[in-house]
C-alpha cells in the first residue's frame, strides 16, 4: 500500500524532496557537527576559485588629508580636529638603540618542565585560545581553551553558546585581547611587546618564563602553492646544539615538543614585527621586567622595532621586504606617528603588489591579523583609503566578510565622510561576528543607537 502511494508521486517532486531531506539531515546536530567543516572548506574553495584572494591588491590613493573644505559639516570637522591625534613627522636620526641587559650567561639548552600541550583541533580558528591556555596552565591555571574563547572569541549572538561553531566567523584573536584576558579575568599577569630578539626569548626561557610568539606560517594550499597565514606559537625551550627552539604547535598533528629551527622561527616572527607575549605570576613581575631590560618600556621596544625594520629594509632583497616596510608602519603606529606610518604602509602595499608569486601566493590574510594601516590612514584623515582597504580585505581576501576590525574601521571612516547609515550597518555587522565587542558597542552608543 505504502509503495503504491510512493509510485503515484509525481517524479518532478523527487529532486526537491530529496534536497529538502538532505538539508534536514545536514542540520541534525550529530551530522552538522561532523560535516560543517568540510562544507565550509568546500564553499571557501569555490569562492577562491572564482575570486583568487592572492590577486586582490590595495592601491593607496595617496591623496592629501581631508581639509576643512572637503569635510562634511562644521561640527564634524571640529570633532576631527579635537579627537584625531596629530600626525607627526619623522624625528631626527639619533643613535641606534642597543639593548643593554646585564645578566649571567645563559645555558646552551633549556627545556621547561611541566608543559601541558593543548591543541586547537575540532574548533574554528582556535590558535589564540589554545596557546593562551598553555601559557596559563603552565603557571597552574585550571581553565581550558573554551574558557578563554568564551571571553575573547565569543562568536555571534547565535553561536556564542556553541563551542564548535563559536570561532567560525571570527578569524583571529588580537594580542591585546589575549593580554587583557589574563590581566582582567585571571590572577596572573601578561604583557606584549614588539621588536623581540631571539636572545631575549632565550633569557626568558632560562629564567623559567615561556613565551608566546606571533608569527607567520607557511603551508601548501589545495592547489599546491605556498600559502601564508598568521599563527601563535608557544615557545617552551631551546637547544643550541640542535639549532632551534622547542615549541608547542597547537595546529600541527603531532604538535608537541617540536623543534623550530632558529632561522625558520625568526623568518616567521618577522611577519608580526617580532611581537611576543609573556604570561607570569604577579609576584614575579619585577623579575620579568628585569629580564626584559629596556623592553620593559613599551615605547622603547617600539622604537627598537622601528630601527630593526629600517635595517631590514636595507638588508632584505626578496618578498620579506614587504614585511619590513609593514613593520616600519606598525612601529610608527605604536609610537603615535601616524603620518609616517601611512607613508611606510603605502610602500609596503607597493611591495605587496610586486610580490613574486612564482612559488607562493601573496600573504592575503595580512589584514586579518594586523590593523595598523587602519590606524595610520584614519588618523592621517585618509578616510577613503580606510574604506578602500577594508573593502579589499572584506570583499576580496575572505570568503565571507566577517572581520570585525575591518568592519569597525570602515564604519568609522564612513562616519567621518558623512555616511552615518553605512557606519551603523558596519558597527552592527561587527557585533554579528564578535558579540558584545566593546569598540563596536561604544561606537553605536556614541551615535545614540542601540547595538
Classify residue 230: in a domain, yes or no. Answer: yes
Any domain includes 398? no
pLDDT of residue 22: 54
265 vs 373: CA distance, rounded Å: 25
**Residue 39 and residue 114 in one domain:** no
Shared domain for 33 and 143, answered yes or no, is no
318 and 225 fall within a common domain: yes
Rounded CA gap, 81 and 438, in Å? 24
DSSP 236-273: EEEETTTTEEEEE-SSSSS-TTEEEEHHHHHHHHHTTT
Query: Is 110 inside a domain boundary?
Result: yes
Contact (CB, 8 A) for 365 and 221:
no
Indicate whether 197 and 342 sit together in one domain: yes
Domain identity same for 45 and 120 = no
Compute the half-sphere exposure of residue 369: CA atoms within 13 Å on the CB side of its CA: 22
List of the chain residues with pLDDT < 70: 1-50, 62-103, 159-167
Grouping H, G, I as helix, E, B as strand and the rest as coil, residue 111 is strand
Rounded to two decimals, what is the model's pTM? 0.84
Question: How is residue 97 written as a grid cell?
Answer: 638603540
Query: What's the structural domain count of the chain?
Result: 2
Are 48 and 365 spatial neighbours (Cβ–Cβ below 8 Å)?
no
Domain final residue, candidates 337, 361, 385: 361
Contact yes or no for 303/331 (Cβ under 8 A): yes
- 10 Å CB burial of residue 40 (0-12, 13-18, 19+) is middle
Domain presence at residue 317: yes
Return the closest-CA partner of residue 410 out of 381, 428, 388. Answer: 388
CA distance 152 to 185: 11
Instruction: Please check whether residues 180 and 34 belong to one and the same domain.
Output: no
Residue 94 grid cell: 639619533
Torsion sign over Cα 83, 309, 439, 394: positive
Shared domain check, 198 and 266: yes
Task: Give kind and range of the element (H or E) at residue 315.
Answer: helix 298-315
| Inside any domain, residue 156 | yes
pLDDT at 399: 84
Residue 34 sits in the same domain as residue 119: no
Specify whether the CB–CB gap between 120 and 127 falls below 8 A.
Answer: yes
Domain that holds residue 290: 104-361
In a domain, 7, yes or no: yes
Domain boundary among 329, 361, 393: 361
In a domain? residue 64: no
| DSSP result, 116-134 | PP---TTSSS-HHHHHHHH
128 and 217 inside one domain: yes
pLDDT of residue 244: 98
Domain limit, last residue, from 315, 346, 361 = 361
Same domain, 175 and 278: yes
CATH number of the domain residue 285 falls in: 3.90.70.10
Is residue 239 in a domain? yes
Residues 23 and 143 in one domain: no
Q: Cα–Cα distance between 449 and 201 in angstroms, integer?
A: 46
Amino acid at each position: 500500500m505504502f509503495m503504491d502511494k510512493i509510485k503515484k508521486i509525481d517524479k518532478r517532486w523527487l529532486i526537491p524532496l530529496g534536497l529538502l531531506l538532505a538539508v534536514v539531515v545536514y542540520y541534525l546536530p550529530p551530522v552538522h557537527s561532523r560535516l560543517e567543516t568540510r562544507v565550509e572548506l568546500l564553499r571557501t574553495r569555490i569562492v577562491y576559485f572564482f575570486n583568487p584572494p592572492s590577486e586582490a591588491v590595495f592601491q593607496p590613493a595617496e591623496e592629501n588629508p581631508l581639509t576643512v573644505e572637503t569635510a562634511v559639516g562644521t561640527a564634524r570637522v571640529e570633532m576631527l580636529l579635537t579627537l584625531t591625534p596629530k600626525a607627526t613627522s619623522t624625528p631626527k636620526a639619533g643613535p641606534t638603540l642597543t639593548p643593554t641587559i646585564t645578566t649571567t650567561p645563559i645555558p646552551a639548552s633549556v627545556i621547561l618542565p611541566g608543559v601541558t600541550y593543548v591543541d586547537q583541533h575540532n574548533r574554528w580558528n582556535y590558535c589564540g585560545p589554545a596557546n593562551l591556555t598553555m601559557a596559563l596552565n603552565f603557571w597552574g591555571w585550571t581553565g581550558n581553551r573554551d574558557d578563554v574563547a568564551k571571553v575573547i572569541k565569543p562568536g555571534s549572538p547565535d553561536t556564542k553558546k556553541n563551542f564548535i561553531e563559536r570561532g567560525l566567523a571570527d578569524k583571529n584573536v588580537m594580542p591585546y585581547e589575549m593580554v587583557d584576558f589574563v590581566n582582567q579575568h585571571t590572577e596572573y599577569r601578561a604583557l606584549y611587546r614588539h621588536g623581540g630578539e631571539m636572545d631575549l626569548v632565550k633569557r626568558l626561557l632560562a629564567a623559567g618564563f615561556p613565551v608566546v610568539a606571533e608569527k607567520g606560517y607557511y603551508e601548501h594550499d589545495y592547489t599546491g602553492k605556498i600559502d601564508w597565514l598568521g599563527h601563535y606559537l608557544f615557545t617552551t625551550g631551546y637547544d643550541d646544539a640542535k639549532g632551534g627552539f622547542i615549541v608547542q604547535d597547537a595546529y600541527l598533528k603531532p604538535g608537541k615538543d617540536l623543534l623550530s629551527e632558529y632561522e625558520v622561527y625568526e623568518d616567521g616572527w618577522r611577519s608580526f614585527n617580532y611581537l611576543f607575549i609573556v604570561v607570569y605570576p604577579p609576584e614575579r613581575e619585577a623579575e620579568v621586567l628585569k629580564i626584559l631590560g629596556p623592553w620593559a618600556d613599551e615605547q622603547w621596544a617600539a622604537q627598537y622595532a622601528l630601527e630593526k625594520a629600517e635595517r631590514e629594509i636595507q638588508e632584505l632583497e626578496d618578498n620579506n621586504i614587504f614585511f619590513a616596510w609593514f613593520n616600519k608602519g606598525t612601529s610608527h603606529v605604536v609610537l603615535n606617528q601616524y603620518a609616517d606610518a601611512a607613508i611606510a604602509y603605502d610602500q609596503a602595499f607597493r611591495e605587496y603588489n610586486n610580490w613574486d608569486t612564482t612559488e607562493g601566493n601573496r600573504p592575503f590574510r595580512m589584514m586579518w591579523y594586523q590593523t595598523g594601516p587602519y590606524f595610520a590612514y584614519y588618523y592621517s584623515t585618509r578616510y577613503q583609503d580606510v574604506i578602500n582597504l577594508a573593502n579589499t580585505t572584506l570583499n576580496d581576501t575572505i570568503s565571507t566578510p566577517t572581520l570585525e576590525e575591518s568592519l569597525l574601521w570602515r564604519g568609522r571612516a564612513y562616519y567621518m565622510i558623512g555616511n552615518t547609515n553605512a557606519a551603523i550597518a558596519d558597527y552592527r555587522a561587527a557585533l554579528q561576528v564578535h558579540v558584545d565587542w566593546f569598540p563596536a558597542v561604544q561606537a553605536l552608543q556614541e551615535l545614540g543607537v542601540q547595538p
